[in-house]
Amino acid sequence: MPGFFSSLIPRSTPALLLALLLARPGTAQTAPPRLIPFHKGTKWGYADQNRRLVLPLQYDEAGPFVQELAWVRIGSLYGYIDGGGNPVTPMQFTKAGTFHHDRATVELEGETFQIDGSGKRVTTPSEPEPETEFLTQGDLTRQNGKVGFRFTVGQAVVPPVYDEIQENYNGLLFVRQGAKWGVVNNKGKVVLPLEYDAIKATEANNFAFAIVEQQGRFGYLAEDGKLLVPLKYSAAEPFIASVARVTTPDGRTGYIDSRGREFFD
């Protein structure tokens, strides 16, 4: 896959921690992308939110726009285009990643390095990602080998009946009992039953739109913790810039938006 390259903040003082929490949005209100990779037949182009083709079907593969830049593939080589479809780099890379923090990782003639938004090679190393060693929404509670949760804001308390609890910074908790996962909201209510094999979230969309797995099929969670799309895909990648790459059981690959709409035929 071309997107082969795709948080412990040190424990802070209360004032700094409060500032971090206030700076973090309550829900992942990411702006919808202007253009979304659109797959039809054997070719890829880009469509608008109404599935109208804007950039023609001329690529063998296409990635999402981040910072108005996207990787595209023709034949076995990758390059980058801007939002108008203009080339930013030649089609010369053997691998290409999506832009993140103004950089993208590429491979050229067996060498891996990073480029900036103008397509120039970056010589300075990227700054390490901050790491998070605390829970932002409250505290874990423990009793008889089980864990619960006490939210800092409000009076909600999740009883210590779970084997594992993870948060997604959007008012949701991913909870596990035995081998099964579910979702609890910030009022302590189970909004997704504990019947799923895995729930995975990434920082790309503030840990929203988590990938859900059940018996080898994948779907996504909406911002309220309920299913955004049913578990119908054979493969699903994390959301990037409000779109996610999926593969259907019959082998079709394309992108869906944050409303679950498919941009492929």
pLDDT per residue of the chain (265 residues) written in tens, 0 to 9: 454 433 333 333 344 333 433 344 444 445 678 899 999 999 999 999 999 999 999 999 999 999 899 999 999 999 999 999 999 999 999 999 999 889 999 999 999 999 999 999 998 776 665 443 356 788 899 999 999 999 888 889 999 999 999 988 678 999 999 999 999 999 999 999 999 999 998 776 556 789 999 999 999 999 899 999 999 999 999 998 889 999 999 999 999 999 999 999 8
Which of 115, 150, 176 lies at the terminal end of a domain, its last residue? 115
Give the CB-side neighbour count of residue 132, counting CA atoms within 13 A: 14
Nearest-angstrom CA–CA distance, 45 and 60: 9
Please answer whether residues 160 and 143 qualify as being in contact, where contact means their C-beta atoms are separated by less than 8 angstroms.
Answer: yes
Q: Are residues 146 and 245 in the same domain?
A: yes
Q: The tokens of 147 are what?
A: 């864990």
Q: The tokens of 239 are what?
A: 């959301």
pLDDT at residue 94, as a whole number: 97
Domain-embedded: residue 65: yes
The predicted-structure confidence for 64-90, as pLDDT tens digits, reads as follows 999 899 999 999 999 999 999 999 999
Q: Are residues 106 and 171 in the same domain?
A: no
Number of domains in the chain: 2
Q: Give the alpha-carbon dihedral of 157, 160, 162, 167, to 10 degrees.
A: 40
Domain-embedded: residue 122: no
Q: Which residues contact 125 (CB under 8 A, 6 or more apart)?
A: none
Range of the domain at 229: 138-257
Domain-embedded: residue 92: yes
Q: Order the strands of the 172-177 sheet from edge to edge.
A: 164-167, 172-177, 180-185, 190-196
Q: Are residues 42 and 105 in the same domain?
A: yes
Q: Are residues 18 and 69 in the same domain?
A: yes
Q: Are residues 9 and 90 in the same domain?
A: yes
Q: Are residues 167 and 106 in the same domain?
A: no
Q: Are residues 194 and 247 in the same domain?
A: yes
Domain-embedded: residue 262: no
Domain-embedded: residue 121: no
Nearest-angstrom CA–CA distance, 239 and 130: 20
Which of 115, 147, 179 lies at the terminal end of a domain, its last residue? 115
Q: Are residues 149 and 69 in the same domain?
A: no
Q: Are residues 207 and 111 in the same domain?
A: no
Helices (H), the chain: 14-23
What pTM did the predictor assign?
0.74
Q: The tokens of 25 are what?
A: 């949005």
> How does DSSP classify residue 155?
S
